[in-house]
Amino acid sequence: MTIEKNQRALAQLSAIYRPGTLNLIGRRPGMGKTTLAFQLVTETQLPTAYFSLEMRSDQLLIHYGNGKCPEWIHLDDTATLTVDSVWEKVRQLRETYDIRWVIIDYLQLMTSSQLYPNREGEIAHIIQELKNMAEDLHVAVIVLTQLMRTVEMRDDLRPTLQDLPNWNRIGQWVDDVRLYP
């Protein structure tokens, strides 16, 4: 994504992520989900809880934040987060720092404290609970998600909702979806 396109995307995203909403940003693996999310929080300067399940916070800051964490971003790089633990951490951060946004980087690495017979049911539960958290704590939750690799097998690389894993089970809870090649 060019810098100009990225700036337009950032402006659009910051305008729509309102308290109480659950939002998905989907991209193919390795195509810059973390870059886009970190730029978004850096440029909007809204108090944000950023949960990085894939990358340690020091790595994240070296790649995207010049080694320093802005004071309005509260990074958590706990690799094995459950929805319950995120909810509790966000509740505390909301009370202490008036957190407005919550970034989950990324959905497929999150787990539920409940046992499910399959991953699809677990992801559906996670999304539903993240929506409940957004409404209950009055924050915008922005969840990064990987698109399925099937998009790479088509001539037209523009992603569709069907490229989101479990879209038929999670779509009812999501307020906004942004898909990028």
- Name every residue whose Cβ is closer than 8 Å to that of residue 108 and which is 6 or more positions away in sequence: 123, 145, 146, 165
Across the beta sheet with 101-105, what order do the strands follow?
73-76, 48-52, 101-105, 140-146, 22-27, 176-180
pLDDT (tens digit per residue) in 4-13:
666 666 666 6
> Tell me, what's the pLDDT at 130?
96
Q: Is 92 within the bounds of a domain?
A: yes
Q: Which residue has the higher pLDDT, 109 or 150?
A: 109
Q: Which residue has the higher pLDDT, 155 or 47?
A: 47
- Name every residue whose Cβ is closer than 8 Å to that of residue 83 and which is 6 or more positions away in sequence: 110, 112, 113, 125, 126, 129, 130, 133
Phi/psi of residue 179, nearest 5 degrees: -115, 135
List the CATH number of the domain containing 44: 3.40.50.300
Token pair for 118: 């399959």
What is the spatial distance between Cα 156 and Cα 22, in angstroms, rounded to a whole number? 28
Q: 101: buried, middle or exposed (CB in 10 Å: 19+, 13-18, 0-12)?
A: buried
Q: Which residue has the higher pLDDT, 14 or 159?
A: 159
End-to-end CA distance of the chain: give it in Å, rounded.
9
Q: Is 6 within the bounds of a domain?
A: no
Q: Is 32 within the bounds of a domain?
A: yes
What is the spatial distance between Cα 113 and Cα 105, in angstroms, rounded to a whole number? 18
Question: By residue range, what is the domain housing residue 45?
Answer: 16-180
Instruction: Give the count of domains, the chain.
Output: 1
Q: Is 22 within the bounds of a domain?
A: yes
pLDDT at 138 over 90: yes
Identify whether the C-beta of residue 178 lies closer than 8 Å to the C-beta of residue 8.
no
pLDDT (tens digit per residue) in 54-107:
889 888 888 777 788 889 999 999 988 899 999 999 999 999 999 999 999 988
Q: Is 5 within the bounds of a domain?
A: no
Q: Is 11 within the bounds of a domain?
A: no
Identify whether the C-beta of residue 158 lies closer than 8 Å to the C-beta of residue 181.
yes
> Tell me, what's the pLDDT at 3?
54
Whole-number Cα distances in Å, 44 to 14, 24, 37, 66, 118: 7, 18, 11, 17, 37
What is the spatial distance between Cα 92 and Cα 26, in angstroms, rounded to a whole number? 28
